[in-house]
Amino acid sequence: MSDAGTIAVTVKFFASYREEVGEEAVDVRLGRGETVADLLETLRIRLPRWRAYGHAPMVARNLEYVATTEELCDGDEIALFPPVSGG
């Protein structure tokens, strides 16, 4: 449970992100009103191995894809996927 000034979210890593970070999921505390972009920056600081991969992930919040401007809420589950490329 979060205190009045913070929220807690769970971040799940998929595909090459999971392999590179070395963890399936992490719990992160953020300030109220922070966005997906703020979360990604927090992960870059907290997880040094994420720095190389965290620049353009596909992000799902509670099973729906969202933009990095999306504001996060307490208890959100965030899934991060590498960008899909094809040819």
pLDDT at site 83: 83
pLDDT at site 50: 74
pTM recorded for the entire structure:
0.88
Q: What are the tens digits of pLDDT across the range 9-64?
A: 999 999 988 988 889 999 999 999 999 999 999 998 988 877 776 568 999 999 99
Could you tell me if residue 67 is left (phi over 0), alpha (psi between -120 and 50 degrees) or otherwise beta? Answer: beta
Return the closest-CA partner of residue 13 out of 72, 73, 60.
60
Domain boundaries defined on the chain: 6-81
Architecture of the domain defined by 6-81: Roll (3.10)
